[in-house]
Amino acid sequence: MMRILFWIGLIVLVIAAIRSKIRGKLREMTPPPGHPGYPGAGPQAAPTRELGATVECAHCHVYFPESEAVTANGRAYCSPEHVNLPPA
């Protein structure tokens, strides 16, 4: 029984390691902010040329229209809650 649990734990760790590696690779390959293919460019974060400038949240690094930004301490945040959270 302990052997099975050991192998399950090992497999989970390997999968987690592979996933974090893939995520790191994707981050390298992501196009620059404002590009339509950028992950943050969802329905809420429309391309730059349609809604003006986009800014990056200092906490969660999501891109969103500058008009929706909450600014504090010279940084832009996506929501008032993230103002009180440290930069990630």
State yes or no: residue 58 binds Zn ion (CB under 5 A).
Answer: no
Residue with Cβ nearer Zn ion (55 or 59): 59
Q: Which of 41, 55, 59, 64 binds Zn ion (CB under 5 A)?
A: 59
C-alpha torsion sign, points 15, 17, 21, 23: positive
CA pair distance 27, 57, nearest whole angstrom: 16
Total site size for Zn ion, rule CB under 5 A: 5
- Does 83 bind Zn ion (CB under 5 A)? Our answer is no
Residues 6+ apart with CB under 8 A from 62: 40, 45, 56, 78
* Site residues for Zn ion per CB under 5 A: 57, 59-60, 78, 82
